[in-house]
Amino acid sequence: MTKDMHCKILMVATEAVPFAKEGGVADVIGSLPKELAALGHDVRIFLPRYGIIDPNRWALRHTGVVRTLSVGGFDQTISILQTTLPDAPVIVYLLDNEEFFGRYQRIYLGLDQLDEQRRFLLFCRGLLEALPQLNFAPDIIHLNDWPTAPCTAYLRTTHRHLLAHGAARIVYTIHNLQYQGRWDPSILYEAGLDPASVFTAVGLEFWGDVNWMKAGIMYADVVTTVSRRYAEEIQTLDYGWGLDEALFQRHPRIFGIPNGLDWDTWNPATDNNLVARYSAAEALPAKVRNRTGLRQEFGLPDDPALPVVGIVSRLVDQKGFDLIAEIAAEMRALPLQFVVLGSGHPRYEQLFRDLAASTGNIRVQIGFDVALSHRIYAGADFFLMPSAFEPGGLGQLIALRYGTLPIVHATGGLADTVTDIDSNLSTHMRPLPCSLRCTAPCSFMPSAIAGPLS
Ligand code: ADP
C-alpha cells in the first residue's frame, strides 16, 4: 500500500469503546479506526449488539439487511443495525440477534460454554453473509482474537468469493493467545464447514479439537500482535500456549505492532472525571489534588508521606496477582497505600476484599467503572501491573499519559513500552533470550538477535 492509497477496511471485533468494553481490545477498536479514517481510509467496524448496547442511546438504525442462518440445528434470524463512532466518520455495523446477543448484558459467557461457540459462529457467518448487501467490499478484513477467527475458515472455503479472487487480504490480530476458542470437532457441522477442508494439521485441527485461534493463525494473510515483544514470545514454548509450532510455521507473516492510545479519550488536560485537570506543566500540584480526592473516595487518610499505588485490571491469573497473594502479609506493613479497581476471578476478588478488610492501607472497588479508572490513573503516584504475560497492555500507557509511574514485569508490551528508570538497564533494549529457530533475519527482532541460532 502506498502512502496515498486509500483502502476499504473492515474491522471485526467483539468489543469497541464506547459501545462495549471489557479490556484493551475495546480501546484499540474504538480508536485505531479513527486514526485510519483521518488518513483517508474508509474504515468500518463490525460488532455484535449485546444487551448492554442500547439502540436508543446510540441511535442505531436498521440497514434493512436481514438473513436467516442455521446454527446449532436451529434457524436464527440476524439483522444488521448501523451507527457511527461518536467522534469520527466511521460506520459501525452491529449484528442483532436476541437469543445469542441481545438478551445478554455481558460480552462473554465463558470459554467452556457451547453457546459461546455458537454465538460467535453466528456472528462470523452472519456478517459474511450480510456483507454483499451492505455494499461494502473491503480490501482488508481485520479480525481480532478467536471469536472472529471463524471468519478466516469461511473466507478460505465457503465464502472465498468475498476475497475478490485474492485481491482482498485478511489481517488477524492476536490480542491474547491464551483464549483460543477450542471445541470438539462436532462444532464444524454446526458451523457449516467441511472437516475435510479445514480439520487438518495445516488448518484448524489442534490435538483432535477445533481451535479457532489456530484457524486465524493459519488462514490469515498476515498475523499481528499488539506489541513487538509478544510477537517473539508467542513463538516460544513458554508463551506459545501450545501454538508456538503453528506460529513458527507462519513466522515470516507475523508482525508486532505496538498498541497505541487514544490521546483524546485519555487526556488529563481535558478529562472531566478528574478533581483537577492538568497538562505536563502543572502536573505536580494537580496530581496532589487528584490524589487527595482519590484517597477520600477510597476512605484512606490523606498522608503525604505515603505514596499511592493504583491497580486497574481484570483480576485474572494473567495479571500476576498471585505475586501479591504471596506477599499479602507484608503488604499490610508497607509504607504505601493501594487502591484497586477490578473484577474477575473470585479468588483475586476475595484476596483484595480480605486485604481491604484487614488493613488500613489497602482499599478495593470490585467492579467495572471507567470514570473511577480515570481518577486512579490521575491520582495514583505509581501504577502496578505485574502481569505474568502481557500481549500489549494499555494500563501502563494510560498511566504514563497521566504522569503516573508504571511498575511492571518486563514482559510483552510492558517490556516494549516501559523504559527502566535506570536508563543503562533499559528493559526494552535488552533482547529476549531467544529460543526461536530462525534461519532468516526476522522483521520484528532487534538485529542483535536476528539470524541463525545455534
Ligand atoms: P486487558 O486487555 O488484558 O484487560 P489492557 O491493559 O490491555 O488489559 O487493557 C485494559 C483496559 O481495560 C484499560 O483501558 C483499563 O483501564 C480497563 N479496565 C480494566 N479493568 C477495569 C475496571 N475494572 N474498570 C474500568 N476499566 C477497566
Can you give the three-state secondary structure of the chain, one letter per residue? Answer: CCCCCCCEEEEECCCECCCECCCHHHHHHHHHHHHHHHCCCEEEEEEECCCCCCCCCCCCEEEEEEEEEEECCEEEEEEEEEEECCCCCCEEEEEECHHHHHCCCCCCCCCCCHHHHHHHHHHHHHHHHHHHHHCCCCCEEEEECHHHCHHHHHHHCCCHHHHCCCCCEEEEEECCCCCCCEECCCHHHHHCCCHHHHCCCCCCEECCEEEHHHHHHHHCCEEEECCHHHHHHCCCCCCCCCCHHHHHHCHHHEEECCCCCCCCCCCCCCCCCCCCCCCHHHHHHHHHHHHHHHHHHHCCCCCCCCCEEEEEEEECHHHCHHHHHHCHHHHHHCCCEEEEEEEECHHHHHHHHHHHHHCCCEEEEECCCHHHHHHHHHHCCEEEECCCCCCCCCHHHHHHHCCCEEEECCCHHHHHHCCCCCHHHCHHHCCCCCCCCCCCCCCCCCCCCCCCCC
369-309-423 Cα angle (round to 5): 120
Q: State whether the beta carbon of 369 lies less than 6 angstroms from ligand 1.
A: yes
Q: State whether the beta carbon of 394 lies less than 6 angstroms from ligand 1.
A: yes
Q: Do residues 205 and 184 make contact, with C-beta atoms less than 8 angstroms apart?
A: no
How many whole angstroms from 144 Cα to the centroid of ligand 1?
17
Q: State whether the beta carbon of 268 lies less than 6 angstroms from ligand 1.
A: no
Name the grid cell of 289.
Answer: 489534588
How many whole angstroms from 155 Cα to the centroid of ligand 1?
31
- Determine the Cα–Cα distance for residues 258 and 192; give it in Å rounded to an integer: 35
How many whole angstroms from 395 Cα to the centroid of ligand 1?
6
Average pLDDT value for residue range 346-368: 96
- Determine the Cα–Cα distance for residues 394 and 388; give it in Å rounded to an integer: 15
How many whole angstroms from 24 Cα to the centroid of ligand 1?
6
Share of the chain above pLDDT 70, in %: 92
Going by alpha carbons, the residue nearest to atom 26 of ligand 1 is: 370
With cell 508467542, the residue in question is: 234
pLDDT digits (tens, 9 = 90+) for 282-328: 999 999 999 999 999 999 999 999 999 999 999 999 999 999 999 99
* pTM as predicted: 0.90
Q: State whether the beta carbon of 412 lies less than 6 angstroms from ligand 1.
A: no
Share of the chain above pLDDT 90, in %: 88
Q: State whether the beta carbon of 342 lies less than 6 angstroms from ligand 1.
A: yes
Q: Per-residue confidence at 427, pLDDT binned at 50, 70, 90?
A: very low
77-78-80 Cα angle (round to 5): 155
Q: State whether the beta carbon of 312 lies less than 6 angstroms from ligand 1.
A: yes
- Determine the Cα–Cα distance for residues 429 and 116; give it in Å rounded to an integer: 41
Q: How many CB atoms lie within 10 A of CB 386?
A: 18
With cell 478488610, the residue in question is: 357
Name the grid cell of 63.
Answer: 440497514
If we measure between CA atoms, which residue out of 259, 247, 261 comes closest to residue 177? Answer: 247
Looking at the CA of residue 259, tell me the nearest atom of ligand 1.
Answer: 7
- Determine the Cα–Cα distance for residues 88 and 91; give it in Å rounded to an integer: 9
pLDDT digits (tens, 9 = 90+) for 211-264: 999 999 999 999 999 999 999 999 999 999 999 999 999 999 999 999 999 999
Average pLDDT value for residue range 103-130: 96
Q: State whether the beta carbon of 393 lies less than 6 angstroms from ligand 1.
A: yes
How many whole angstroms from 237 Cα to the centroid of ligand 1?
27
195-199-204 Cα angle (round to 5): 135
How many whole angstroms from 329 Cα to the centroid of ligand 1?
27
Average pLDDT value for residue range 160-173: 92
- Determine the Cα–Cα distance for residues 38 and 47; give it in Å rounded to an integer: 21
Regarding beta strands 362-366 and 254-256, do their DSSP bridges make them parallel or antiparallel, or are they unpaired? Answer: unpaired
How many whole angstroms from 17 Cα to the centroid of ligand 1?
12
How many whole angstroms from 258 Cα to the centroid of ligand 1?
17
Q: State whether the beta carbon of 216 lies less than 6 angstroms from ligand 1.
A: no
Q: Per-residue confidence at 141, pLDDT binned at 50, 70, 90?
A: very high
Phi-psi region of 56 (alpha: psi -120 to 50; beta: other; left: phi over 0): alpha
Average pLDDT value for residue range 363-383: 98
Beta bridge partners of 342: 313, 366
Regarding beta strands 308-315 and 61-71, do their DSSP bridges make them parallel or antiparallel, or are they unpaired? Answer: unpaired
Residue 372: predicted pLDDT: 98
How many whole angstroms from 21 Cα to the centroid of ligand 1?
8
Q: Per-residue confidence at 57, pLDDT binned at 50, 70, 90?
A: very high
Amino acid at 96: D
Distance of CA 53 to the CA centre of its chain: 19
Q: What does pLDDT average to over the chain?
A: 92
How many whole angstroms from 23 Cα to the centroid of ligand 1?
4
- Determine the Cα–Cα distance for residues 371 and 385; give it in Å rounded to an integer: 19
Q: Do residues 245 and 234 make contact, with C-beta atoms less than 8 angstroms apart?
A: no
Residue 51: predicted pLDDT: 98
Lowest-pLDDT choice from 52-66, 388-402, 423-437: 423-437
- Determine the Cα–Cα distance for residues 142 and 317; give it in Å rounded to an integer: 28
Name the grid cell of 377.
Answer: 490513573
Q: Do residues 136 and 8 make contact, with C-beta atoms less than 8 angstroms apart?
A: yes
Regarding beta strands 182-183 and 169-174, do their DSSP bridges make them parallel or antiparallel, or are they unpaired? Answer: unpaired
How many whole angstroms from 175 Cα to the centroid of ligand 1?
13
Q: Do residues 266 and 351 make contact, with C-beta atoms less than 8 angstroms apart?
A: no
Q: State whether the beta carbon of 258 lies less than 6 angstroms from ligand 1.
A: no
Going by alpha carbons, the residue nearest to atom 12 of ligand 1 is: 23
Looking at the CA of residue 397, tell me the nearest atom of ligand 1.
Answer: 6
Q: State whether the beta carbon of 24 lies less than 6 angstroms from ligand 1.
A: yes
Residue 111: predicted pLDDT: 87
Q: Per-residue confidence at 430, pLDDT binned at 50, 70, 90?
A: very low
Q: State whether the beta carbon of 314 lies less than 6 angstroms from ligand 1.
A: yes
Going by alpha carbons, the residue nearest to atom 4 of ligand 1 is: 23
